[in-house]
């Protein structure tokens, strides 16, 4: 198993086994661990992508629901940073049946991003840095004002 990152999102699904298959086919995630109960039901699983990890599980309490069970409303999205190949990644996700919410586009801060919804309604954003820009350049490009912990105002 991969080393533990500081944060690990946990995403609930009505059908987590189908989610594991979709996330592998569409987004290139790899199964890292799977726990089954005595009846063979999925109890817990983890997938990895690059140096990141995500937990994929069931709707195991009233507070852990798939968007499919609550009108396809998302209370969070998952952002995945790619180091290369964003356009090929996008094509794979689209061809695997992901609902494309936003096609790849280069953002004011230098990342090329796209957004997709999986079959149960979770929203995923994928990005790749295609141009390294300073916060001052972001501000010029966007009209926003950037503040960073290291440098205060840009």
Show the domains of the chain with their CATH numbers: 1-59 (3.30.720.120), 77-144 (3.30.720.110)
Q: What is the pLDDT of residue 152?
A: 64
Q: Please give the angle made by the CA atoms of 62, 66 and 69, to the nearest 5 degrees.
A: 75
Which of helix, strand or coil describes residue 86?
Answer: helix
Question: Could you tell me which residues are beta bridge partners of residue 12?
Answer: 57
Q: What percent of the chain has pLDDT over 90?
A: 85
How many Cβ atoms from other residues are within 10 Å of residue 17's Cβ? 14
- The first and second tokens of residue 140, run together, are 């010029």
Label residue 149 by pLDDT band (50, 70, 90): confident
Label residue 25 by pLDDT band (50, 70, 90): very high
What is the per-residue pLDDT across 69-91, written as a single tens digit (0 to 9) for each? 999 998 889 999 999 999 999 99
Q: Helix 16-27 vs helix 86-95: angle between axes, to the nearest 10 degrees? A: 140
Higher pLDDT, 108 or 3: 108
Q: What is the pLDDT of residue 4?
A: 74
Alpha helices for the chain (secondary structure H): 16-27, 86-95, 135-142
Our measurement of the distance from residue 55's CA atom to the centroid of its chain's CA atoms, rounded to an integer in Å, reads 11
Question: pTM, whole model, 2 decimals?
Answer: 0.90
Q: What is the pLDDT of residue 143?
A: 93
């Amino acid at each position: 198993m991969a080393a533990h990152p500081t944060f690990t999102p946990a995403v609930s699904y009505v059908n987590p086994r189908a989610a594991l298959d979709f996330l592998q086919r569409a987004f290139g995630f790899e199964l890292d661990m799977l726990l089954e109960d005595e009846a063979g039901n999925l109890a817990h699983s983890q997938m990895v992508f690059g140096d990141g990890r995500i937990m994929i599980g069931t709707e195991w309490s009233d507070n852990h629901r798939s968007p499919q069970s609550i009108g396809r409303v998302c209370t969070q999205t998952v952002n995945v940073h790619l180091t290369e190949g964003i356009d090929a990644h996008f094509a794979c996700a689209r061809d695997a049946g992901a609902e494309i919410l936003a096609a790849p586009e280069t953002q004011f801060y230098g990342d090329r991003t796209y957004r997709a919804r999986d079959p149960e309604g979770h929203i995923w954003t994928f990005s790749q840095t295609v141009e390294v820009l300073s916060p001052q350049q972001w501000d010029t490009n966007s009209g926003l004002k950037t503040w960073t912990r290291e440098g205060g105002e840009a």
